[in-house]
Structures are given as C-alpha cells and as structure tokens.
A and B are shown apart, each in its own frame.
Chain A
C-alpha cells in the first residue's frame, strides 16, 4: 500500500509539472524550430555546461585525488603499468579538454540568428585525412607500447627461483597454500575435499605433503598472506565453487579464479608493508580516513595490502578479503619456516 502511495506522489508530480508549464505557456508565442532568444539563452547555458564539466574535472583531479590508490606501485611490474596508465591518462585529459572546448564554443558561437546563412560545407578530403591519420598514428603508438607492457607483465617464464603460491577462492573467503621445500604445488581437485582437507589437495601426490597451508597465526585475528620483497611470486589460482577474482590493486594485479581450471598471475613485490605505511600518499589517505572514523567513533586503522574479490560471487561478495603482508626476504623466510606443512599437520 505504501508503494501505491509513492506511485501516486510521482503521478501528482508529473501533473504539477504540466500545470506549471501551462501557466508559463499562456504568454508565449510558439515558434516551431527555435527563436533567437532561445538560441541565445541555450548557447550561453551550453558554455555554462562546459564550465561545469571543466570545474568537475579540475575539482576531482586536485581535491579528489586523495582517495586514489597510492601512486607508488607495490610491484616491479606495476611500475610499467603505471607509466602506460599515466601516458594514456595524460592523452585523454588533453583530448577531453580540447574536444569539449571545440564542441561547446562552436555551439555557442554559431547559435542561431535570424536571417544568417549557414555555410554549406559538406566534405573536405584534407580534413578527413588529417583526422584519420593522426588518431591512427597516436593509437599505433599506444597499441605497441600497450602490448609490450602486457607481455612484460604476464610473462613469468624467465623468472629465477620464483615462489609458488596457490590462492583458492570459495564463497566467501580466500585460502592459500605455499609450495613448500620442493617449490612444487601438489595436485588438487575439489573431489578430494574431505574433513580438514578443505582445499582438496591430493595427499597421495609426492609434491603435496611439504606444501604449507595458510592458517591463522597465533596472536592474530585473520589469515595473513606473507610474501617476500624482491622475489617473483607466481600465484596459481583455483576456485571451489563460482567465479571469483583475485584483485590486488596496490600491486596492479588481478586474475579471475575459475572453477575447473588453474589460472596464473605473477609479480615481484617491491615495497614492504612497513615501507608503504611510510609512503606520503598512503599517509595522506589514511589520515583522512582516520579523521572520518574518529568522527564516527570508530577505531583508527593502518594501511594493509589486500586481496579483494572482484567478480560477483554471491551475497557476501562485498566482504571477501585476505590481508597480504610484504616482508623483507629474510623475515619472510623466517616466517615461512615457522609454518606447518601438511605432513606436520597430519601427524599432529
């Protein structure tokens, strides 16, 4: 019934709109195309719209940039992505500025005046050639540089002594498994899931027993995925049920988790968690966040690297996260040595 009430309000608003204009319309002579006065007013308003768009751009660029991810990429590969991103974004901003300027100033300048003749100008091979060739050249550059960067980011074949980690998504949490002493992940399939073997690892595989599952460490509330700075990490990604996506924005890295197949993404962490906390962008962002939290009476937070789920996966898609900690390599090795392998867990 309440819904009906709202619908009636909408209908009344519609009727009110019409009545309002009927009042205005009484005094007005209607010219079919547009009067000089209308052209003039709307011409000026179009300039105003341009001002609004520019204002939004400038305001968000300067004032809004504090909400963005830290400019510093936390992975070596991400630095290449950032360069390509900055070049493209610069190009976009310039073209946007220029094209909107041309569009709106033309609209303003040539707003209709009675008895003025428009200029019959139907074609120009020269102009057409210019604005086919220039975008083609610019885009060729972007394509070549883009593909080079893509290959650089995606190709992990040449890595020396990479660290293999399996990431395992399920509704609605992330699990992980380190490849252990042999640095080879034991094979797995959801058909092996039983009891405490929640990731479906094939325990008869000789590579499996030295694998190290990620558990909640003593004194912690959540799982922490540790990775070393300066060593290539290759993530092998699986899903238990539906599509998920491993999204690690600070590392400029993302890959879907697909049931029935193993996907892969890799990067070399280049900034430890401690270093990133000292970064000035991070500090500015977290100062702002903590100020907001204080106003709401919430506890202050510190920066942490995260995996977010970025492919719709069900009701709690919005809260499927895993904390990542980037350590110096020595600290990482110490931490990994303190973790228990499957073999140790089973015998215990």
Chain B
C-alpha cells in the first residue's frame, strides 16, 4: 500500500479506516462496550438468583415492563442469560479478543505494513459492528430478545408459541449471528493469508512469536467451523419462516399438531456443536498466545518448550474439531458415539497439560516483573488449571450424565474459557496499550483491578461447582420450586456478592483505560524491554508501520537473559530484539 499522496480525512482515518492498528482499536472499543452490557446483564440475573422475588429498583429501571415491581419475569431472566452468553462468547471473547489482537499484532509481529487485504479487514469490522447493533436492537422489541439459551436448540428457538423470545427476537438473533459469521470469516481468511504470505525477510514460521502461532491456528479453526453454524442458522431460518422440517418433527403445541415431520433437533445440536466446541478454543487459544508472550517477556526468560507449545496448539486445534459430541452425551445420540467422544475429549487434556507445565517452567528461575499484564497471565494459568481439571469429569460420558447441564458445567466453562480468556485479554490490553495508544496505563489502578477481579472470579465460580454437584440445573429462574435446593440460597448469595464486587471492579479498568488514552504518561518505544518487532516501530502510528525498509529478522522472539561464553549477558542487556543479527560465537536457538 503506497498511498503516500492519499490524504486522510476524519472519516477514512477514524471510521472507515483500513489501517490494521485503527481497526484493532475499533474492535477493542466495541468489545468493551459489548462486554459492559454482557457483564451488567449477569449482575441483574445474579440478583434474581440470590434474592428471588425481592424487589430491586435497578431491575425495574433497566428492564421496564419485564421488571415491573422490581422483579424480573421468567422470560426476561432467560433472555438475560441467553444474550449474556451470546455477547460474551461471540462478541467479546471471539470478535473483540481475536479482532483486537490479531489485527494489532499480526502485521506488527511478522514485519508487514498491513493486512493482506485492508479493505476486507475494514469490511470485517463493520459487519461485526452491524451484528452488534442488531443484537443490541433485539433487546428493545415488544416480545423481548431471544431466550432459548445461547445454544438456541430448536424446537424452543423455532416456535414463537413455545416461548415469547422465539418470535422477532430470535429472528434478529439469527440475522445478527449470520452477519457476525461473515465478519469472522473475512477476518480469519485475512489473518491466515497475511501470516502465510507477508512475513518479513528471515521471519521463518519457526521464528514466529507464539501469539502469531495461536492467532494463525485460531483463524484456521474459525474458517473450518464457523460456516457450519452458518448452515445451521440458515436451516433454522428455513424451518422458522418457510415451513421446512430440518430440525422439527411431531410437535403438538398450543392445542394443535404442527405439520413438521421427519426433522431432528439432534441434527441441529450436531451442527451447533461442530462450531460450538471449536469455538471455545477460538476463544482460549489467542489468550494462550498472549499469555505465553507476556509471561516470557516479564519472566525475562524464553518461553519454555517453544516447539512443544506450537505442537500442542496444533494438537488442540485438531482435536477440538472432533470432540463436539461431549456436549451431547445425554441427547439420545447413539451411546457408541458417546464412547468415541469420551476418548477424543480426554485426549485433549494432554496438550493442555503440556502447556500448563511449560508455563510454570517458564516462570521457574525467572526474574518476574509483576506488572498488571504479568499478574493477569499468572491468574490465567491458575484459572485455566482450576477450570480445566473439571473437564475430566464433564468429558467422561459416564460421569457427565449426572452433572450435565447443571451449575457444575456453568462453573467449569466460566473458569476455563470465560475468566481465563478475559484474563488473557486483560493481560494483552495492559501489555499492548502503549503500542495501541502511545500512552502508559496507570499501574496502581491495574493492580487494584487485578486483585479485586481475581478474588471475585474465584469467589463466584468456585462455590458454583458445589451448587452443580447438589444437582441444581442451569437456566432455572429460581430454585424455590424444589425444597431440596432450599439450602443453596446462602451459597447463591455469596456468589452474587462476589459477582457484584467483581463487576464494579471493572469500573476501575474503564476509568484507567479511557483516561489513560488522553492523560496517560507518554510511552517509551519499548516499555517492557521486549524482543518482538512491534516495539521497533515508532510510538506514533504511521501508515505502513516502519518508516524505512521493513526490518529483517535473525532470531526467534525469546532471547531473554541469554548469556555469552563468559557468562555475561549479550550486549549487557537481558533482551535481544529479533532484528539483531546472530553474533560471533552465539548459537541460534
């Protein structure tokens, strides 16, 4: 892109920008707004769970007729959990996490001037924006937003007679998601092509930072699996609007037999989870990449087992596409398939374990710089272990039977992909904020934000396992209908208190983020003394990233604290940027 003569207007620079750095920021800001909405929804339904039938003026204020008298209706409760799930999984942890950091870091860290197709990149963001607007718009319609759960299993999601949100609300949900998938595909294709074709001289695949490896593999999984959800959504639209019977059969509802014959909801579940399971790795892999990078930099040590890390990313990606059936052990799927999926699912614990061991070895004998990004990375590993381990129960068909669809599952996936991925995202934001805005974020606020968030996250989701083991199903508006759950109310209150503390703590982050953009201290060129290429660019963004020639790369990204033959640090500093040629007597790792 050599458009030196092209004059940037406000519109081309800030709105319809084709610059990867600006698009990254657009993704991040949109993601933060969506994240606030999603988290706020969880505060509201946590209130309902801890204090059923009690009146809260905040509920009436925000939910209007669905919260009349300060108590939300069951349909509104289901809407909140549905849209909370949709927003957090797709709009925040998929689009905002991948969209922000893939866009920001891929050109920077491989030494490219921009994405392979800046126009497609811009289109990808604006489709994401459109999808967000439609999803938010669905909150304001008469019959309420979709409320069949974020997994939108038909027939509930197909029949307006079955639940109010399956009318216009579900239509908007499906349209929004279809656009979202188009956006995601454009982004992913762009990332793949850019990484494969636009690496600078010397940037071999085996010299790529792990961030790029994880974004690259994530994009591949996205391209493989998102179209399947698109197909499922399209077929569901056909069933809903044009009378086909892909997912529906033999239904009697509201006093009449419907004409549907021969379809199967189980087919939808297969299609949904063919995306749905890889989706959790689409969420967690970029976070893993970010954490690997941040941890190595702040431990002042190379990441341990670089090649093993790449192999495990690829292994996880491959396995992630053949484990979807573990969401369906009790759906009436053939029990033999249950055995197969148990096998593949538990295998995925092996590369995950390798990664966890490698992270802990990375900090061993390091010189850990405890900035907020590093704390979030350590927090990531902790929650990933805590949440990941219970996967051994849920992935094993026989013991999944009794905890399937209970709060045990909710606790598991919130820790392992929700909290962990959010921690990875925060690590990335604190680490690359200077690169995005040329300013430093306030560190004290960062510490405060981390400590409250970490305690609150454990406080909410650790006790939740026990609620699940007590047999409480998820998506229950309240549990007062069953006396056997009476004794869970006090645990629910504890969780809600932690949730509200954790939610309010995010205000600290918001304050820090937005004020640092304007009032933060000016960032130096390489604030974390890091090796990767993005820190060789100027603090002020320019189109094309490097003013002169593109940098040439001579080494991998992790030469931290490397010693020469005399036992001294090379060049007297504990980091060696990738653009430094291999020195005499030095061996390339």
Asked if B385 is an interface residue, CB under 8 A from chain A, the answer is yes
Residue-wise, chain B 337-369 has the 8 Å CB interface mask toward A (1 for contact) of 011001100110110011011011101111111
A39-B370, A312-B148 known; A81-B378 Cβ under 8 A: no
Among A146, A153, A258, point to the contact of B346 (Cβ < 8 A). Answer: A146
Residues of B with C-beta under 8 A to A124: 304-305
B248 touches A312 (CB 8 A): no
A42 touches B447 (CB 8 A): yes
The answer, among B61, B360, B458, for a CB contact under 8 Å with A106, is B360
Cross-chain contact of A92 among B251, B347, B389, B521 (Cβ < 8 A) = B389
Chain B residues within an 8 Å CB radius of A193: 252, 257
Q: Which of A116, A118, A155, A245 contacts B560 (CB 8 A)?
A: A118
Interface residues of B in 464-519 (CB under 8 A from A): 465-467, 469-471, 473, 475-479, 481-484, 486-489, 491, 504, 507-508, 510-512, 514-515
Interface residue A311 (Cβ < 8 Å from any Cβ of B): yes
CB distance from B396 to the nearest CB of A (A): 4
Q: With a CB–CB cut-off of 8 A, which chain B residues contact A330?
A: none
Tell me if A317 is interfacial: C-beta within 8 Å of chain B: yes
Given the known inter-chain contacts A60-B462, A88-B396, please indicate yes or no for A150 contacting B389, CB distance below 8 A.
no
* Cβ contacts under 8 Å, B250 to chain A: 189-191, 259-260
CB-CB nearest in chain A for B567: A117
Nearest B-chain residue to A117, judged by Cβ: B561
- A35–B441 CA distance with the chains assembled, in angstroms: 16
Instruction: Pick from B78, B155, B404, B515: contact of A315, CB below 8 A.
Output: B78
A110-148 interface (Cβ within 8 A of B)? 110-113, 116-124, 127-128, 131-132, 135-136, 139, 142-143, 146-147
CB pair B511–A14 under 8 Å, yes or no, is: yes
Q: Tell me if A200 counts as interface (CB < 8 A to partner B).
A: yes
- In the complex, identify which listed stretch (A18-26, A217-225, A331-339) lies at the interface while the others stay far away: A18-26
Nearest chain-A residue to B350 (Cβ)?
Answer: A135
Q: Which residues of B contact A311 (CB under 8 A)?
A: 153, 405
A310 close to B (CB within 8 Å) = yes
- Partner of A190 from B149, B257, B346, B402 at Cβ < 8 Å: B257
Q: Once the chains bind, are A13 and B507 in contact (CB under 8 Å)?
A: yes
In the complex, the answer to whether B155 meets A42 with C-beta atoms within 8 Å is: no
Q: Is B491 in contact with A143, judged by CB distance below 8 angstroms?
A: no
A68 in the interface (beta carbon within 8 A)? yes
User: Which B residues touch A292, using CB under 8 A?
Assistant: 486-487, 489
Q: Which of B335, B479, B512, B527 is A318 in contact with, Cβ under 8 Å?
A: B479
- The residues of B that contact A170 with a CB separation of less than 8 Å are 252
| In contact, B370 and A120 (Cβ under 8 angstroms) | no
A312–B164 Cα gap in the complex (Å)? 14
Contact yes or no, B263 A120, CB < 8 A: no
Task: Report if B162 contacts A (CB, 8 A).
Answer: yes
**A240, B298: Cβ atoms under 8 Å?**
no
Does A313 touch B at the CB level, under 8 Å? yes
Residue in A18, A112, A190, A316 whose CB lies within 8 Å of B369: A112
Determine how close the nearest CB of chain B comes to the CB of A334; give it in whole angstroms: 28
* Residue from A10, A53, A64 in contact with B458 in the complex, judged by beta carbons closer than 8 Å: A53
Q: Quick one: given A13-B507, A81-B402, A118-B561, are A306 and B482 in contact (CB under 8 Å)?
A: yes
Contacts of B582 in A (CB 8 A): none
Cβ 8 A contact of A67, one of B393, B398, B470: B470
What's the nearest-Cβ distance from chain B to residue A340, in Å?
A: 24
A122, closest chain B residue (CB) = B302
Contact (Cβ within 8 A) B301 A121: yes
- Whether B60 contacts A289 by the Cβ 8 Å rule is no
Q: Smallest CB–CB gap between B59 and chain A, Å? A: 10
Contacts of B248 in A (CB 8 A): 259-260
CA distance A39 to B375 in the complex (A): 10
Given A67-B491, A243-B156, A252-B402, A258:B463 Cβ within 8 A: no
Cβ-defined partner of A120 (8 Å) among B57, B163, B302: B302
Query: In the assembled complex, which residues on chain B have CB atoms less than 8 Å from the CB atom of A152?
Result: 398
Q: Could you tell me the distance between the alpha carbons of A303 and B163 in the complex, rounded to whole angstroms?
A: 32
B462 in contact with A53 (CB, 8 Å) = yes
Q: Which residues of A contact B363 (CB under 8 A)?
A: 103, 106-107, 110
A118 and B365 within 8 A (CB): yes
Closest residue on chain A to residue B393 by CB atoms: A88
**Known A146-B396, A312-B475; contact A13-B504, beta-carbon cutoff 8 A:** yes
Q: Is the CB of B61 within 8 A of A33?
A: no
Contact, CB under 8 Å: A131 / B527: no
Name B459's closest neighbour in chain A (CB-CB).
Answer: A56
How many angstroms between the C-alpha atoms of A34 and B389 in the bound complex?
Answer: 32
Considering only CB atoms and an 8 Å cut-off, how many residues of chain B contact the other chain?
A: 145
Most buried by B among A66, A142, A245, A254: A254
1/0 per position for B254-278, CB-CB distance to A under 8 A? 0001001011111000000000000
Question: B364, A106: Cβ atoms under 8 Å?
Answer: yes
Least CB separation from A57: chain B residue: B462
Given A6-B62, A39-B368, A240-B252, CB of A142 within 8 Å of CB of B392? yes
- A64 near B477: Cβ-Cβ < 8 Å: no
| Pair B263/A260 contact, Cβ less than 8 Å | yes
Do A81 and B401 touch across chains, with their CB atoms under 8 A apart? yes
Q: Chain A CB within 10 Å — which of B163, B249, B335, B399 has the most?
A: B399
What CA separation (Å) do A145 and B342 show in the bound complex?
Answer: 11
Q: B401–A243 contact, CB under 8 A?
A: no
**Is A324 close to B, CB under 8 A?**
no
A123 x B369 contact (CB < 8 A): no
A60 to B57, CA, bound (A): 33
- Asked if A319 is an interface residue, CB under 8 A from chain B, the answer is yes
B249 proximity list for chain A (CB < 8 A): 259-261
Is B440 touching A32 in the complex (CB atoms < 8 A)? yes
Residue A216 CB within 8 A of the other chain: no
- Contact across chains for B401 and A120 when beta carbons are under 8 A apart: no
- A110-B367 contact given A149-B398, A293-B483, CB 8 Å threshold: yes
Indicate whether A301 reaches chain B with its CB closer than 8 angstroms. yes
Question: Can you list 22 A-B pairs, Cβ within 8 angstroms, ordered by A?
Answer: A18-B511, A38-B447, A43-B368, A53-B382, A56-B463, A64-B463, A103-B378, A104-B382, A120-B563, A121-B301, A122-B302, A128-B305, A143-B342, A147-B339, A147-B343, A150-B396, A242-B251, A245-B405, A258-B332, A259-B251, A313-B156, A317-B74
Pairs of residues from A and B, 8 with the lowest C-beta to C-beta distance, nearest first = A260-B249, A2-B61, A263-B332, A249-B471, A119-B365, A42-B370, A190-B252, A319-B481
A interface residues (Cβ-Cβ under 8 A, vs B) = 2-3, 5-6, 10, 13-15, 17-18, 21, 24-25, 28, 30, 32-34, 38-39, 41-43, 45-46, 49, 52-53, 56-57, 60, 64-69, 78, 80-81, 84-85, 88-89, 91-92, 95-96, 99-100, 102-104, 106-107, 110-113, 116-124, 127-128, 131-132, 135-136, 139, 142-143, 146-147, 149-155, 170-171, 189-191, 193, 200, 237, 240-243, 245, 247, 249, 252-256, 258-261, 263-265, 285, 288-289, 292-293, 301, 303, 306, 308-319, 321
* Other 16 A-B pairs with CB < 8 A, given A151-B335, A242-B253: A21-B445, A21-B512, A34-B371, A38-B443, A52-B455, A56-B463, A67-B491, A117-B569, A118-B300, A121-B365, A128-B354, A135-B350, A240-B252, A241-B159, A263-B332, A288-B487
